[in-house]
Structure 1
Amino acid sequence: MSVFSKYGVLLVSFLVWFSSQFVSAQILNKPEAADNPNLPGNSAWTAACASENFNEYFVNFTWTPPPVNPENEFILELSDANGDFSNPTTLTTVDDQNNVFDFDFSFALPETTRGDGYRFRVRSTSPELTSPVSDPYPMYYIGYRDPILISKDRNGEIPSGGQIQVCNGESLALGTHNVDNPENYEYNWYNNGALLSERSSLIEITDPGLYYVEIDYGASCSGSANTLSNTVEVIFVDALNVSISASTSTNICNGETVDLVASVDDPNLFYTWYQDGQAVTARILGLSTYTVDSSTAGFDGQYYVEVQGNNPCIEQSNNVEITDAGTFDVTNDQELNLVLLPGQTRTLSVSSTATNPTYQWYKDGVALTGETNQSLEVTEAGDYYVTMTQGGACSNSQVDSETYVVVTPDSFELLIEYATSYAPCANADVTLNLLQINALFSAQSPIDVTNDLINDFSYQWTLDGNIIVGETSSSLMIVGNTNNGDYELTATLGSFTPISNTLSVELTDNSSFSISSDGTALCFNQTLTVTSDQTLANEVFEWTQNGVPINNTDESITVSEPGIYQLVVESNSCPSISNTIEITPFDDSGVTIDVEEEFLLVEGTSVIVTAEGAETYEWYDESNNLISSEATASISLAGTYLLIASLDNCSVTRTFTAIYRDEFEVPNVITVNGDGINDLWLLPNIYSGNPNVKVTIFDAAGNQIFQQVNYQNNWPESNTQFTKQNMIFYYNIKESGTTVKQGTITVIK
Structure 2
Amino acid sequence: MLTTKSNRFYLILCFIAFVFHGEVYAQLVIGTPNLGFSQACASDAFNSYDVTFVFSPESALNASNQFTIELSDANGDFSNATVVYTSSPGWVTDSPATLNFSLPEDTAGENYKIRIKSSSPAATSTASVAFAAYYKLQDSPFTINNLVSTGAYCTGGSYLLAIDNPGNGNNDSPLNYPSLTFNWYKETSPTTSVFVAEGNSLTVSEEGTYFVETNYGSCTSNSFSNRVTISEAVSGQANATIASSLGNPYCPEQGMTTLSTIGGISYQWFKDGIMIPDATNQMYQTDESGIFSVQVDLGDCSAIGSIDLVSELFESEINVDEANNMLAGETLTVTVTTNATNPEYFWYYNNQLLTNETQNTFEASEFGDYEVVITETSGCNASKSYQFSIEEGIDPFPDVDKIPNVISPNGDFTNDTWVLPLQYTTGTNTEIVILNEQGKVVFQTIDYQNNWPENDLNLISVNQLYYYIITTSDGKVKKGSITIVK
TM-score for both structures, normalised by structure 1: 0.27
Higher relative contact order (CA 8 A, sep 6+): 2
Larger radius of gyration: 1
